Amino acid sequence: MDYHGAKSLLNRYISKHVGGENRPVFFDIEATYPPLTNVTRHAATIQAEFDRLMERNPRLPRYHEVDSGEAKISNTTAYDWNVFMLDILGQKPRANREMCPETCHVLDGVPNMFQAFFSILDPGKSVPMHEGPYLGYLRYHLALRVPQDHPPKIIVNGQPYTWQEGRAVLFDDSWPHEVVNQSHQMRAILIVDVLRPMSRMPAMVNRFVTKVVGRNTYARKVARNAARFANANQSARKAA
C-alpha cells in the first residue's frame, strides 16, 4: 500500500471514533484542550515577540517553500503566505526558536503538540478551499495582528469565523475550509496543531503515527527547509 492509501485507511479508522460526517467543526478550547488556554493567556507576550521578530525584517519562507505539499493552496492565489516554524513534531529549528524564546517557552507547556508556527498573510492574500490531510489533529489559531479594515475570515465547513486580536479558536482542519481576505494590511496568527483527544486505542495509534512515522518523514523535511531559511537570516544579520 502506498502513502496515500495508508493515510486514507488511517483517516477512515479515526473517523469512526470521532463522529464521522457528524463530527464537530469548532470546539470549546477550555473543554476540549485546556492547556491551550495558557497559550491564549500569553497572547500579549506572543504578540510583542512576533512584532520584534518582524522588525528584524527576516526573509520568511512562503508556506510551499518549507512544505511543497502546500503549493496548491499557498502558491495559487496572488500575494504571499509566509510561515515561521517553531516546532514540527519535536523537530525544533534552533535559529527560529532563538528569536522567539518566550513564545517557545509557552508552547513547550502544550502536551501532544503536532506543530506550531506563525502564519502571515500579505494584504489581500486569500487561501482557496482545501481540507487538512489528516483527522488526527485539531488546529488552534491565536490572532496576533488582524486588519481593522475588512478583517479576513476563515470559513470552515460553511461556518465563518472572523479573527480578533488576542482571541483564539480551535477547529477541525480536516473539514473543507478557506480564507477570504480583502484587507489592506498583514494578518498574522500563531497556529498550534495538537493531537485530537480520542479514546485509548485510536489515541495510541495516532501517537504512534505522528510521533514515530510523521516525525521522521514530514517533520524532518519541513524542519530542514525551515532551518535553511533561518540560518540564511542569521548569516545576513551577522554580515550587516
Identify the structural domains of the chain with CATH numbers, from first to last.
24-235 (2.60.120.330)
Nearest to 99 by CA among 193, 232, 226, 230: 230
Predicted local distance difference test score (pLDDT) of residue 2: 45
Contacts of 142 (CB under 8 A, 6+ apart): 39, 40, 43, 46, 166, 167, 168, 189, 190, 192
Predicted local distance difference test score (pLDDT) of residue 215: 80
Nearest to 166 by CA among 30, 48, 28, 84: 48
Mean pLDDT value across residues 32-58: 96
CA distance 118 to 141: 10
CA distance 90 to 105: 14
Checking if the pLDDT of 145 tops 80, the result is yes
Pick 6 or 134 by higher pLDDT.
134
**C-alpha angle 156-159-162 in degrees, rounded to nearest 5:** 85
Checking if the pLDDT of 140 tops 90, the result is yes
Weakest mean pLDDT among 70-79, 111-120, 163-172, 203-212: 203-212
Q: How confident is the model at residue 238 (pLDDT cuts 50, 70, 90)?
A: low
| pTM, entire model | 0.94
Predicted local distance difference test score (pLDDT) of residue 1: 42
Q: What mean pLDDT, rounded, does the chain reach?
A: 92
Residue type (1 letter), 16 = K
Chain-centroid distance of CA 57 in Å reads: 21
